[in-house]
Amino acid sequence: MTTVELKDAKPAADPIFTYERDDTPLVIDNGSYQCRVGWATSHEPMMIFKNLIAKPRKERGKKDGDTQVGNDISNVEAVRFQLKTQFDRNVVTHFEAQEQILDHIFTHLGIDTVGCVDHPIVMTEAFLNPNYSRQLMSELLFECYGVPSVCYGVDALFALSRNGEATADATVLVVNCGHNTTHVLPVVNGTIDAGHARRLNLGGSQITSYLHRLLQLKYPGHLNAITPSRAEEIIHRFGSVASDYTEQLSLWADTDYYEENVIRIQLPYTAPPAPTGLTPEQQRERRKELARRLTEINARKREERLAEDEEQLNQLMAIQDLIEEGEEEEFKEPKAKFPKTTFQPKNEEEHVSWIESLRLKRKEMLEKRAARRQRRQDLARRRTAAAQERMRLISQLARKDKREDTFGMRDEDWDVYKAINKEGGDSDSDEEQKLMEVEELLRQHDPDFDGGTGSGGSDDAAETHQLHLGVELQRAPELLFQPSMLGSVEAGLAEMTEYALRTYSPEIRSSLIRNVLLVGGCAQLPGLAQRFHRELVEVSPFKSVVNVRVAVDPALDPWYGARDFAASELLKEALVTRQDYEERGGEFLREHAASNPFFPSPTAVSAGESSSVTAVDEVDGDSSQCRDV
């Protein structure tokens, strides 16, 4: 069992780079979670930031605040209700936010050309992106920024080329696990088969949200401390996919397994102030002074007891003399006094050990009190073991076939009464009195005692602000395979893949399952490849060869693949120029190995054309009738 602290890392603001005037293509991986930007000549992305903007609320009499984009948002939770994104699921629909993000990109890249961004743009888009969304994106790039040309491609297919599978005869099953959606994309003979692709409206965003709700329900006292950002960090650091979810649940039910594998997350907290502002040296001196005072008090008590014993002895001797003289006077025997034994420390070590024994005794009392209170809570609920046992005993005592009621005549009946008592048996008065006496001794003789309900002051405060994570770390990612846990009626990833594979012939199906590639941010979850392999083996024919692998860098491979494509000779044939935009419309797309298939939108029929067509039909109908006559 380990205890870890959350990093709560704040992103560093993106720097402003030096601009070099050339015609190098600009590569933008416009993901629904992160945006990655860099030149086609860059070895790695120059900018990586969350695709979010935070626009402060306008207050009366004040100027509008500056809009923060991506890494400029130092504290996401402080502006949680002001965040906006350009995406609806994985499709760009809010182009005002998209324009602000593009402004942020071009500004930090140092582009200072007047009136235009004189660079070809290679940008990723969603699989089967609607023509209307592409039209508005092209309109934004060509009309607002004056780019010379643009090329669109699917992020998962760019990642496919990065992993060496973008050949003319490659047959690959690409599983793109994104932030808002998950796609199963069959690539047959180097071409994406859009007709047999499948989409699941669930991804990393839903997994994080589900874990956030689970933790808030489990720890209602820490609602404000359990934020979506911290739930996201917990998933990224500790989340995993169980190879067998049912078996994993049974393992967590074992107490020993739980104690060995549970992860304690330490939430931030303010330590209680020290009871005294004394230094360790001063505390040691105070302990010595307390030990000396305790020794003096014990010495005085011994002297008082000796005086009392001497007085009692004199009385007894006087009574003995009266008895020997034969006087028959009645007398009362003095009552012996037995004062409480008082601890008498001989040195500081003995005093410290006595204080430690008092602390342990107090801790045991607190644990017993907590157990009694827990039992009362269990009795208040119907389906707990304690409540069921109480009802069984009550029904046994209330049965009608017993001949005589002798309950209460034996000492064992008291234990039965305590078992069925709603208050959990004995009252807490005696135990509380003993606890108060122990705490009073600790207040008098222990300078470190804070008088709280815990046993260790700051240690108790730290333990109170801890999250114990066990099965939740596997339950949240399980949504990919069981969306019904979230209330969704969609099929899981394994069922969706099986349905897509059934539409192919056995030869193509065996080729697809022999080469399965996982890409996307969620593909980084440990155990996902093993779980998906197991699910495919269960639904595949006997002795089928199944090979599931994760991309080299599931999150960054789409950008690297787009960069390689932008630096190759294939880019010239895939660019949509401004002339193409003006002649064929903003939805036009030149197809290439990593692009979506292009389906032109149907041409709308104007009102004048439709009326003329109707009139011609009517005339033709009348003339035909005349000819018939």
Q: Are 129 and 91 in contact (CB under 8 A)?
A: yes
**What is the distance in angstroms between the CA of the first residue and the CA of the last residue of the chain?**
98
* Residue where a domain terminates, one of 419, 438, 463: 463
Q: How much is the average pLDDT of 206-226?
A: 94
Scan for tokens 């789409």, then name that residue: 558
Using alpha carbons only, what angle is made at residue 43 by residues 38 and 46, rounded to the nearest 5 degrees?
35
Rounded Cα distance between 308 and 314, Å, is 10
Q: Give residue 603's pLDDT band: very low, low, confident or very high (50, 70, 90).
A: confident
Q: Report the DSSP pairing between strands 2-5 and 263-266.
A: parallel
pLDDT at 509: 95
Q: Give residue 363's pLDDT band: very low, low, confident or very high (50, 70, 90).
A: confident
pLDDT at 467: 93
pTM, 2 dp: 0.71
Q: Is residue 512 part of a domain?
A: no
pLDDT at 91: 96
Candidates 192, 153, 154; CA nearest to 170 is: 192
Length of the chain: 629
Average pLDDT, the chain: 83
Q: Is residue 530 part of a domain?
A: no
In this structure, the answer to whether residues 317 and 437 fall within a common structural domain is yes
Count of Cβ atoms closer than 10 Å to residue 156 Cβ:
27
pLDDT at 537: 95
pLDDT of residue 431 exceeding 80: no
In this structure, the answer to whether residues 298 and 426 fall within a common structural domain is yes
In this structure, the answer to whether residues 571 and 447 fall within a common structural domain is no
Rounded Cα distance between 385 and 372, Å, is 15
pLDDT at 440: 74
* Residue where a domain terminates, one of 438, 463, 488: 463
Count CA within 13 A, CB hemisphere, residue 427: 3
Q: Is residue 376 part of a domain?
A: yes
Residues contacting 276, CB < 8 A, separation 6+: 283, 447
- Helix or strand holding residue 329 (H, E): none
Q: How much is the average pLDDT of 384-391?
A: 62
Kindly report, residue by residue over 480-494, the tens digit of the pLDDT.
999 999 999 999 999
In this structure, the answer to whether residues 284 and 421 fall within a common structural domain is yes
pLDDT of residue 274 exceeding 60: no
**Domain enclosing residue 106, as ranges:** 26-163+559-584
The dihedral through the CA atoms of 377, 381, 385, 389 has a sign that is positive
pLDDT at 454: 45
pLDDT at 411: 59
DSSP code at position 142: I
Coil/strand/helix, residue 68:
strand
Rounded Cα distance between 19 and 21, Å, is 6
Q: Are 170 and 512 in contact (CB under 8 A)?
A: no
By the 10 Å C-beta count (0-12 exposed, 13-18 middle, 19+ buried), 67 is classed as middle
Rounded Cα distance between 425 and 112, Å, is 81
In this structure, the answer to whether residues 459 and 564 fall within a common structural domain is no
CATH classification at residue 76? 3.30.420.40
Q: Is residue 247 part of a domain?
A: no
- Helix or strand holding residue 283 (H, E): helix 280-325
- Helix or strand holding residue 247 (H, E): helix 245-252
Kindly report, residue by residue over 146-172, the tens digit of the pLDDT.
999 999 999 999 999 888 766 667 899
Report the domain count for the chain.
2
In this structure, the answer to whether residues 295 and 435 fall within a common structural domain is yes
Rounded Cα distance between 91 and 130, Å, is 8
Rounded Cα distance between 129 and 597, Å, is 10
pLDDT at 441: 75
Q: Is residue 213 part of a domain?
A: no
Tokens encoding 44: 């790695």
pLDDT of residue 627 exceeding 70: no
Kindly report, residue by residue over 408-426, the tens digit of the pLDDT.
556 565 565 555 565 544 4
Q: Name the β-bridge partners of 292.
A: none
pLDDT of residue 457 exceeding 60: no
Q: Are 120 and 149 in contact (CB under 8 A)?
A: yes
Q: Is residue 303 part of a domain?
A: yes
Rounded Cα distance between 19 and 67, Å, is 23
Q: Is residue 258 part of a domain?
A: no
110 compared with 460, residue with greater pLDDT: 110
Q: Give residue 46's pLDDT band: very low, low, confident or very high (50, 70, 90).
A: very high
pLDDT at 456: 45
Kindly report, residue by residue over 25-37, the tens digit of the pLDDT.
999 999 999 999 9
In this structure, the answer to whether residues 435 and 286 fall within a common structural domain is yes
Tokens encoding 433: 């009195």
Q: Give residue 617's pLDDT band: very low, low, confident or very high (50, 70, 90).
A: very low
Of all residues in the chain, the percent with pLDDT exceeding 70 is 77
pLDDT at 316: 81
pLDDT at 171: 93
Rounded Cα distance between 569 and 456, Å, is 69
Q: Is residue 50 part of a domain?
A: yes
Tokens encoding 560: 């690297």
Q: Are 177 and 207 in contact (CB under 8 A)?
A: no
Q: Give residue 623's pLDDT band: very low, low, confident or very high (50, 70, 90).
A: very low
Question: Using N-to-C axis directions, what is the helix angle for 348-380 and 429-445, rounded to 10°?
Answer: 150
Q: Report the DSSP pairing between strands 26-30 and 2-5.
A: unpaired
Largest separation between any pair of C-alpha atoms in the chain: 165
In this structure, the answer to whether residues 288 and 426 fall within a common structural domain is yes
